[in-house]
Amino acid sequence: MNKKSKIYIAGHNGLVGSAIWKNLREKGYTNLIGRSHGEMDLLDGAAVKTFFETEKPEYVFLAAAYVGGIIANNTYRADFIYKNLQIQNNVIYESFRNNVKKLLFLGSTCIYPKESPQPMKEDYLLSSPLEYTNEPYAIAKIAGLKMCESFNIQYGTNYIAVMPTNLYGLNDNFHLEKSHVLPAMMRKMHLGKCLHEGNWSAVREDLKRRPLDNVDDKSTTDEIISALNRYGIFSGHVELWGTGQPMREFLWSEDMADASVFIMENIDFDDLRKDKEEIRNCHINIGTGREISIKDLAETIRNIIGYKGDIRFDSSKPDGTMRKLTDVSKLTSLGWKYKVEIREGIGLMYDWYIKELLWNTEN
């Protein structure tokens, strides 16, 4: 890529896409293009076809996806497999048809087996069954990885698949049912703190920005309390799913963006297929190689937010995979390493969350 290359970031308003956009801008790239969901639905093959034929991007970051945490993955199984397959099929195929020079496909480390050896190496893909709760999403991401690999083998394209660990950061999704564990936990404790302190103006500010179902800042106090209780938020405690024992790895979204741009600038598919008798598992894990228990994560978030209530774990709810630690030796050998540690990242994220609420209130 050069600084004037035409670069399309699919999902440029999302957690990772917005960070990639910011990273490229800071590095001096000037010809970036993105389309909001309202401007182009990536599920619409005809719309994606028209976009590629009209804009002719040279490089593509495929950061768009239908994502969520364990509750959403297990509840909306058809949506997760259908929408993700459709999005990636449309973007990857139109990239091929329109001679895109290079594409980066973002997957997820949930592609690895439930009982995978730890840390998870790229070669462990498809070695045993997947975790049931997110199997449809994982299968979609495996299909995207294999689609990139297969186009590279058959047509000589330069499509690289990366598998990030659990991501968090600015512009995250804070929906209490459909988001990932860290932002959901942060919002639960923020609302729990407001409720615990009787700070109803702060509760209503939060619901004005992010309504819960049909409950917003205009709803009655009883309606708000009922909605918060449904999501495990009470005046004296918050409830979290599972036992708190699973271990998870987290990567700051801006670190993920930096790794993505680094790979697009420096690594080609041919660099990844060397010395392989069979061309497979050429994808790259992106993570920190460090893990924290869900219980310790909750305590870290509690301390940063200043939440004084109790944290209760509901062991009747599923834990998901007990460990999901990535082996990042391939990425490290290519010359990239993360910078932001988990406590620093959570602090940055909560500061942004509060500032966004204040901005929304003032405007």
Give the model's pLDDT for residue 226: 96
Give the model's pLDDT for residue 272: 93
pLDDT digits (tens, 9 = 90+) for 92-110: 999 999 999 999 999 999 9
Q: In CATH terms, are 7-170+249-289+324-341 and 181-245+294-320+348-362 the same topology?
A: no
Question: By percentage, how much of the chain surpasses pLDDT 70?
Answer: 99
pLDDT digits (tens, 9 = 90+) for 306-321: 999 999 999 999 887 7
Q: Could you tell me the residue ranges of all domains in the chain? A: 7-170+249-289+324-341, 181-245+294-320+348-362
pLDDT digits (tens, 9 = 90+) for 264-311: 999 999 999 877 778 999 999 999 999 999 999 999 999 999 999 999
Name the active-site residue from 76, 137, 231, 350.
137
* 137 is a catalytic site residue: yes
Statement: the pTM of the whole predicted model exceeds 0.85? yes
- Report the chain's terminal Cα–Cα distance, integer Å: 39
Looking at domain 181-245+294-320+348-362, its CATH class is alpha beta
Tell whether domain 7-170+249-289+324-341 is in CATH 3.10.100.10.
no
Q: Which of 148, 119, 141, 173 is nearest to 263 (CA)?
A: 148
**Token couple for 142:** 């495996």
Q: Which residues contact 133 (CB under 8 A, 6 or more apart)?
A: 70, 73, 74, 318, 320
Give the model's pLDDT for residue 227: 96
What's the average model confidence in pLDDT over 27-33? 98
Q: Which residues of 317-343 are buried (b: 16+ CB within 10 A; e: fewer)?
A: ebbbbebbbbbbebbeebebebebebe
Give the model's pLDDT for residue 357: 78
